[in-house]
Structure 1
Amino acid sequence: MKNLVFGMIAVAAAFGGAAYIFMGDDLLEDSSAAATETSEGDTSSTSASTETSPEDERPKPSEQGPWPKAIFDETEYSFGSMQVGTEKEHEFIIRNEGDAELKLQAGQPTCKCTAFELSDTVVGPGDQTKLLVRWIGKFKDQNFSHGGPVYTNDPANPEIRFSVGGLVDAAVDLLPEETWHMGGMSGETSLKTDGYIISRVFEDLKVDNIECDSPFIQTTVEKISSDELTEFKAVAGFKVLVTATSDLPPGLLETKLRFKLNRVEELVSVDLRASKPGPIRLLPMPGVTFSEASNGLMMGQFPASEGQKVSLLMLVNAEGMTEDLQLKTVDCNPSFASVSMEPMGSGSGETKRYKLTLEIPPGIPRTNRDASNPGRINIETNHPSGQSLQIRFAFKAF
């Protein structure tokens, strides 16, 4: 897959796992971003204290017995994977197979995101209790793992550490993530590329439908192989084959693919770009940074009080034209930008030369339009080919 990037606009940008685990009704913010933070606030007598538990307050075994015996089948639970923003829970069972009451106290959690809820703090001989853990994965985390200790009066197990761990991930990922670049069409041959929809959470993921605003884009979907699943560390995935048909109009196509998936309520979308050479070409004038592949223009930094002008060379194949080239409609965002055009000499043969000037007027507010939010210009001309022009531009007016 060709992965052309909006290079010049990206240059312009130069100027310019957490989760929640809660017990009962308590919700505590994860300290993954600041692991040294301690917990705040008190919980009930059966939940984990958010203050350090002094040793003299912990359950103590009898000096002469009889003693309890704490038995547990597991102290670590792997939940596999979960979607960001969803909730899971797990119960650990603690049994008393000793001859005296088993006393339990939840201790200091590993971080603010962790807490426990004990059903009972005193367990009689032959009885059992539950340690309930609930958690919400708030951010992506490939190695989510949190827990803490439970203190007992069992001399053989004075401290038992419990933890939960797994993968917290988005329901689906699109690869590439933001834009699928198809590149430029050569001649009358259709243009093809592919992208991927994968999930590390849902094995039953399905693609129900694909929408696209452009009639010149066709898509097909196929399941990816087991080797590709392993490569992506995914449990389900699809390859989306995208074709731009040969009758694509000349110029730059910018559209979106929207995916209806069975496991996601809202449509998942990705930008799609393709281009086809036409009779009108835009090229940089000396000293101007412009990408013909992406029609990206960098206007640089300038005082807002002074404004800025940048010009491009426009080469036009005028074969079949009975009148001079004209700009029929110009749509600028932001609206204070403007575009003008003037001839540059007579050119050679059927090729005509024009200077296309983009102006940011003086006196605008301070503005920063970078690669994440570029300005946009859409131009329709009277050329018989019907080719339209789209320009993205970045600038910083200070």
Structure 2
Amino acid sequence: MSRFWVLLAFVAVAGSAAGWGINYTEFGHRPARMGEMIYGGEVTGQNISDFYAQAKQTKNPIVELPGGDTFDFGTMAPEEKGRHTFVIKNVGEGDLRLRLGATTCKCTLGTLDNDVLKTGEQTEVRMEWNVKTDQKTFGQSAQLLTNDPRHYAIDLKIEGRVVNELEMIPDALTFGNISSDQEATVTAKLYSYLDRPIENPTFTFSSDELNEFTDVKIEPFDLSEADGASSSAKQGFDIEITIKPGMKQGAVSQNATFSFTRPQSDSDSDDTTGDDKDGNEERRSLVVPITGKVVGSITMIPNPKLTGSKGGSYIYDFGEVPPEGPFTAKTFVVLKGSDRDNRKLSIESVEPEGVIEASFGENLVRSSMTLCPLEIKLIPGPQRIQRLGRNKEDYARIQIVSDNGESVDQLVIGVKFSMEPK
């Protein structure tokens, strides 16, 4: 039996050795050799390195734009057409091939004078555009395709500002909140891009009261680099509007009109703008809004719980007041005007008495106003008390007076709350 196992082991070893020898002979030991390849001629293992060295491209074109790829046209009027010529130059060693690509919908590229540039050569491509926008700025682009491996596509861009023939900065005037006995000043600059000079300028308002209580100064000035993008205008005017004390309280939302005349040219045979023409003069105008609010000498500083209402009064909303409170709120009454230091504040009345109280703290004097701290206090009772502001009579009320010895201003604060019994 042992002889059988010895014989079996011998046969296994001999078979493995024979299999390894056959495999090595057929596959494991073959001389390395490379046969002939045909690619544009004979390429062998010996000359393949030289072949690829010769086939490698070493002379590439390089695109250069002497004037840059972006043109700032400064200012243009709506619907005006513009054009600009970009210069393309080849500063590389290989031939530069050019092809017109995509453009945005409001500009076009002209034809190329030369679409293949040798080293050192240059050509021009013209971009044309039409200013069709209601925005203050305008920009368009067009693409030029090349065989420069570093710049396969070049974006040629134009950009600038869109202005009408007349431009006022700011384009809307506001004087904010001013006291009825306070003077306020609003300034603006007007730029004219008209081809003929402005003469006899005036500035008026659509409100007779505003015309009565304002003084307006219009002074021409010389344009300079300090005017930034507006320095390309033909004329500039400084406008100073002084609002005098005495206007009625309330919001102001009016139109201000800058009007002028200018000599009429020979080509102005028809009135296509709707402007009046008298003799040899043409009258033109520019209308801008002016807003603000005239308030009394006594106001308040709004906050999330305190809001203003019609007629100059205010509403303070306590909301739901639980049995544990809080029952007090603090806010500020503001005194403005030239005589604010002479005015005295007092609580004239509260309604309903026994449910609400109000008192002033020590004044805080600031440069343009005096802040008067006001504490409002709710007094809980045995029953639930509600003042929900569903109508004019459904508020608790605090009436405050401001007296300077000659005149009295009043301020009313409505108070909303729903207070649980204590």
Higher alpha-carbon Rg: 2
Q: Do they fold alike, i.e. is TM over 0.5?
A: no
Compare the two structures and name the one with the higher helix fraction: 2
Q: TM-score, normalised by structure 2?
A: 0.37
